[in-house]
Amino acid sequence: MSEVQAQQVKDLREKTGAGFMDCKKALRESAGDLEGAVRYLRERGLAAAAKKAGRATAEGLVGSYIHAGGKIGVLIEVNCETDFVARTEPFQRLVRDLAMQVAAASPLYVAKEEIPAAEIEREREIYAAQAAQSGKPPQVVAKMVDGKIDKYASEVCLLEQEYIKEPGKSVRQVVIDAIGKLGENITVRRFVRFRLGEGLDQNKGDDGKPQS
Protein backbone atom coordinates (compact mmCIF):
# COMPACT_ATOMS: atom_id res chain seq x y z
CA MET A 1 0.00 0.00 0.00
CA SER A 2 1.17 3.53 -0.78
CA GLU A 3 2.39 5.90 1.91
CA VAL A 4 -0.33 8.29 3.07
CA GLN A 5 0.65 11.93 3.48
CA ALA A 6 -0.66 14.04 6.39
CA GLN A 7 -2.00 16.68 3.97
CA GLN A 8 -4.00 14.00 2.14
CA VAL A 9 -5.62 12.92 5.40
CA LYS A 10 -6.40 16.53 6.28
CA ASP A 11 -7.97 17.19 2.87
CA LEU A 12 -10.10 14.05 3.11
CA ARG A 13 -11.27 14.91 6.63
CA GLU A 14 -12.30 18.39 5.50
CA LYS A 15 -14.17 16.93 2.56
CA THR A 16 -16.01 14.19 4.43
CA GLY A 17 -15.99 14.82 8.17
CA ALA A 18 -14.80 11.25 8.75
CA GLY A 19 -12.36 10.35 11.53
CA PHE A 20 -8.58 10.46 11.20
CA MET A 21 -7.98 6.72 11.19
CA ASP A 22 -10.90 6.08 8.83
CA CYS A 23 -9.49 8.65 6.38
CA LYS A 24 -6.03 7.16 6.61
CA LYS A 25 -7.36 3.67 5.89
CA ALA A 26 -9.50 4.94 3.01
CA LEU A 27 -6.50 6.62 1.38
CA ARG A 28 -4.43 3.47 1.74
CA GLU A 29 -7.17 1.35 0.21
CA SER A 30 -7.57 3.80 -2.69
CA ALA A 31 -3.80 4.18 -3.27
CA GLY A 32 -3.93 7.86 -2.37
CA ASP A 33 -6.77 8.79 -4.74
CA LEU A 34 -8.95 11.39 -2.99
CA GLU A 35 -12.19 10.68 -4.87
CA GLY A 36 -11.64 6.95 -4.44
CA ALA A 37 -11.17 7.48 -0.72
CA VAL A 38 -14.40 9.50 -0.52
CA ARG A 39 -16.22 6.69 -2.30
CA TYR A 40 -14.69 4.14 0.10
CA LEU A 41 -15.93 6.12 3.11
CA ARG A 42 -19.40 6.69 1.67
CA GLU A 43 -19.82 3.01 0.87
CA ARG A 44 -19.12 2.22 4.51
CA GLY A 45 -21.30 5.01 5.90
CA LEU A 46 -18.32 6.88 7.34
CA ALA A 47 -18.45 10.11 5.34
CA ALA A 48 -20.72 12.17 7.54
CA ALA A 49 -20.58 15.42 5.60
CA ALA A 50 -20.52 13.85 2.15
CA LYS A 51 -23.66 11.83 2.91
CA LYS A 52 -25.58 14.95 3.88
CA ALA A 53 -24.18 17.44 1.38
CA GLY A 54 -27.10 17.09 -1.04
CA ARG A 55 -29.82 17.64 1.53
CA ALA A 56 -31.84 20.87 1.40
CA THR A 57 -31.17 23.41 4.16
CA ALA A 58 -34.28 25.56 4.43
CA GLU A 59 -34.20 26.20 8.19
CA GLY A 60 -31.58 27.79 10.42
CA LEU A 61 -30.85 31.08 12.10
CA VAL A 62 -29.76 34.63 11.42
CA GLY A 63 -27.22 35.32 14.16
CA SER A 64 -25.55 38.52 15.26
CA TYR A 65 -22.44 39.58 17.12
CA ILE A 66 -21.39 43.01 18.34
CA HIS A 67 -17.73 43.65 19.12
CA ALA A 68 -15.38 46.38 20.32
CA GLY A 69 -17.91 48.39 22.26
CA GLY A 70 -20.38 48.61 19.40
CA LYS A 71 -17.83 49.53 16.75
CA ILE A 72 -18.08 46.25 14.79
CA GLY A 73 -21.27 44.31 14.07
CA VAL A 74 -22.00 41.11 12.14
CA LEU A 75 -25.13 39.46 10.82
CA ILE A 76 -24.81 35.91 9.49
CA GLU A 77 -27.28 33.38 8.09
CA VAL A 78 -26.51 29.72 8.75
CA ASN A 79 -28.91 27.08 7.45
CA CYS A 80 -29.75 23.55 8.56
CA GLU A 81 -32.44 21.03 7.64
CA THR A 82 -34.93 21.34 10.50
CA ASP A 83 -36.21 23.91 12.94
CA PHE A 84 -35.56 21.39 15.71
CA VAL A 85 -31.78 21.51 15.13
CA ALA A 86 -31.87 25.27 14.59
CA ARG A 87 -33.20 25.63 18.14
CA THR A 88 -30.51 23.48 19.75
CA GLU A 89 -27.75 25.04 21.83
CA PRO A 90 -24.89 23.52 19.77
CA PHE A 91 -26.25 24.98 16.52
CA GLN A 92 -26.84 28.38 18.08
CA ARG A 93 -23.31 28.32 19.49
CA LEU A 94 -21.96 27.48 16.03
CA VAL A 95 -23.80 30.45 14.53
CA ARG A 96 -22.42 32.77 17.17
CA ASP A 97 -18.89 31.41 16.75
CA LEU A 98 -19.09 31.96 13.00
CA ALA A 99 -20.31 35.53 13.55
CA MET A 100 -17.34 36.10 15.89
CA GLN A 101 -15.04 34.73 13.18
CA VAL A 102 -16.41 37.24 10.67
CA ALA A 103 -15.96 40.09 13.15
CA ALA A 104 -12.37 39.14 13.92
CA ALA A 105 -11.07 37.97 10.53
CA SER A 106 -12.98 40.22 8.09
CA PRO A 107 -13.66 37.72 5.29
CA LEU A 108 -15.09 39.02 2.02
CA TYR A 109 -16.78 35.84 0.80
CA VAL A 110 -18.27 32.66 2.23
CA ALA A 111 -16.31 30.26 0.01
CA LYS A 112 -13.68 30.26 -2.73
CA GLU A 113 -16.36 29.66 -5.36
CA GLU A 114 -17.80 33.12 -4.65
CA ILE A 115 -14.62 35.02 -5.56
CA PRO A 116 -15.28 36.76 -8.90
CA ALA A 117 -13.33 35.29 -11.81
CA ALA A 118 -11.90 38.73 -12.61
CA GLU A 119 -10.52 39.03 -9.09
CA ILE A 120 -8.91 35.58 -9.25
CA GLU A 121 -7.37 36.45 -12.62
CA ARG A 122 -6.02 39.74 -11.29
CA GLU A 123 -4.40 38.03 -8.32
CA ARG A 124 -3.06 35.26 -10.56
CA GLU A 125 -1.37 37.82 -12.85
CA ILE A 126 0.27 39.53 -9.88
CA TYR A 127 1.53 36.26 -8.41
CA ALA A 128 2.70 35.02 -11.81
CA ALA A 129 4.78 38.17 -12.29
CA GLN A 130 6.30 37.73 -8.84
CA ALA A 131 7.00 34.01 -9.31
CA ALA A 132 8.53 34.54 -12.76
CA GLN A 133 11.31 36.56 -11.14
CA SER A 134 12.44 33.43 -9.29
CA GLY A 135 13.90 32.02 -12.50
CA LYS A 136 12.35 28.61 -11.79
CA PRO A 137 10.86 26.33 -14.49
CA PRO A 138 7.33 27.16 -15.76
CA GLN A 139 5.77 24.11 -14.10
CA VAL A 140 7.24 25.15 -10.75
CA VAL A 141 6.06 28.72 -11.27
CA ALA A 142 2.54 27.42 -11.99
CA LYS A 143 2.50 25.49 -8.70
CA MET A 144 3.78 28.55 -6.85
CA VAL A 145 0.95 30.64 -8.32
CA ASP A 146 -1.67 28.01 -7.40
CA GLY A 147 -0.31 28.00 -3.86
CA LYS A 148 -0.58 31.79 -3.69
CA ILE A 149 -4.18 31.65 -4.92
CA ASP A 150 -5.04 29.09 -2.23
CA LYS A 151 -3.42 31.32 0.38
CA TYR A 152 -5.39 34.32 -0.88
CA ALA A 153 -8.62 32.31 -0.61
CA SER A 154 -7.71 31.32 2.96
CA GLU A 155 -7.53 35.00 3.82
CA VAL A 156 -10.70 36.33 2.14
CA CYS A 157 -13.08 33.33 2.34
CA LEU A 158 -14.78 32.50 5.62
CA LEU A 159 -14.81 28.72 5.17
CA GLU A 160 -11.16 28.62 4.11
CA GLN A 161 -9.91 30.79 7.01
CA GLU A 162 -8.10 29.40 10.02
CA TYR A 163 -10.55 29.14 12.89
CA ILE A 164 -9.66 31.80 15.45
CA LYS A 165 -10.78 29.67 18.40
CA GLU A 166 -8.76 26.64 17.29
CA PRO A 167 -5.62 27.50 15.27
CA GLY A 168 -4.63 24.86 12.75
CA LYS A 169 -8.26 24.07 11.96
CA SER A 170 -10.25 25.62 9.11
CA VAL A 171 -13.72 27.11 9.53
CA ARG A 172 -14.90 24.59 6.93
CA GLN A 173 -13.77 21.77 9.23
CA VAL A 174 -15.68 23.36 12.12
CA VAL A 175 -18.85 23.25 10.02
CA ILE A 176 -18.14 19.66 8.94
CA ASP A 177 -17.63 18.64 12.57
CA ALA A 178 -21.00 20.22 13.43
CA ILE A 179 -22.66 18.28 10.60
CA GLY A 180 -21.31 15.06 12.07
CA LYS A 181 -22.46 15.93 15.59
CA LEU A 182 -25.91 17.31 14.75
CA GLY A 183 -26.73 14.83 11.99
CA GLU A 184 -27.94 17.41 9.48
CA ASN A 185 -26.48 19.26 6.53
CA ILE A 186 -25.34 22.77 7.51
CA THR A 187 -24.51 25.59 5.13
CA VAL A 188 -23.33 29.15 5.64
CA ARG A 189 -25.45 31.19 3.24
CA ARG A 190 -24.32 34.79 3.70
CA PHE A 191 -23.01 37.40 6.10
CA VAL A 192 -22.51 41.13 6.37
CA ARG A 193 -19.93 42.93 8.51
CA PHE A 194 -20.30 46.53 9.65
CA ARG A 195 -17.54 48.70 11.02
CA LEU A 196 -18.45 52.05 12.57
CA GLY A 197 -17.61 54.89 10.19
CA GLU A 198 -16.45 52.59 7.41
CA GLY A 199 -16.70 54.31 4.03
CA LEU A 200 -17.30 57.75 5.49
CA ASP A 201 -15.10 60.72 4.66
CA GLN A 202 -14.00 61.96 8.07
CA ASN A 203 -13.53 65.46 6.65
CA LYS A 204 -17.22 65.81 5.79
CA GLY A 205 -20.21 66.45 8.02
CA ASP A 206 -23.40 64.41 8.25
CA ASP A 207 -24.79 66.28 5.24
CA GLY A 208 -21.85 65.22 3.07
CA LYS A 209 -20.44 68.73 2.84
CA PRO A 210 -16.86 69.57 3.82
CA GLN A 211 -16.54 70.73 7.41
CA SER A 212 -15.26 74.27 7.92
Residue 1 pLDDT exceeds 50 = no
Reduced to 3 states, what is the DSSP secondary structure of residue 100?
Answer: helix
121 and 179 co-located in one domain: no
Q: Which residue has the higher pLDDT, 205 or 133?
A: 133
Residues 6+ apart with CB under 8 A from 2: 28, 31, 32
78 and 178 co-located in one domain: yes
82 and 100 co-located in one domain: yes
108 and 73 co-located in one domain: yes
Q: Give the number of domains in the chain.
A: 3
pLDDT in tens, 102-148: 999 999 999 999 999 999 999 989 988 888 787 778 788 888 888 89
CA angle 207/66/92 to nearest 5° reads 140
Domain-located, residue 139: yes
C-alpha dihedral over 195, 199, 200, 206, to 10 degrees? -80
CATH of the domain at 72: 3.30.479.20
pLDDT in tens, 62-106: 999 998 789 999 999 999 999 999 999 999 999 999 999 999 999
140 and 106 co-located in one domain: no
Contact 157, 108 (CB under 8 A): yes
pLDDT in tens, 8-31: 888 887 777 677 778 888 898 888
How many CB atoms sit inside 10 A of residue 41's CB?
28
Q: Which residue has the higher pLDDT, 212 or 55?
A: 55
CATH of the domain at 35: 1.10.8.10
107 and 122 co-located in one domain: no
pTM over 0.85: no
**33 to 23, 44, 139: CA distances (angstroms):** 11, 17, 22
pLDDT for 186 equals: 93
90 and 10 co-located in one domain: no
26 and 102 co-located in one domain: no
pLDDT in tens, 30-51: 888 888 888 887 766 665 566 6
Q: Between the ranges 4-8, 50-54, 158-162, 173-177, where is the mean pLDDT highest?
A: 158-162
- Domain extent for 21: 6-52
Residue 157 pLDDT exceeds 50 = yes
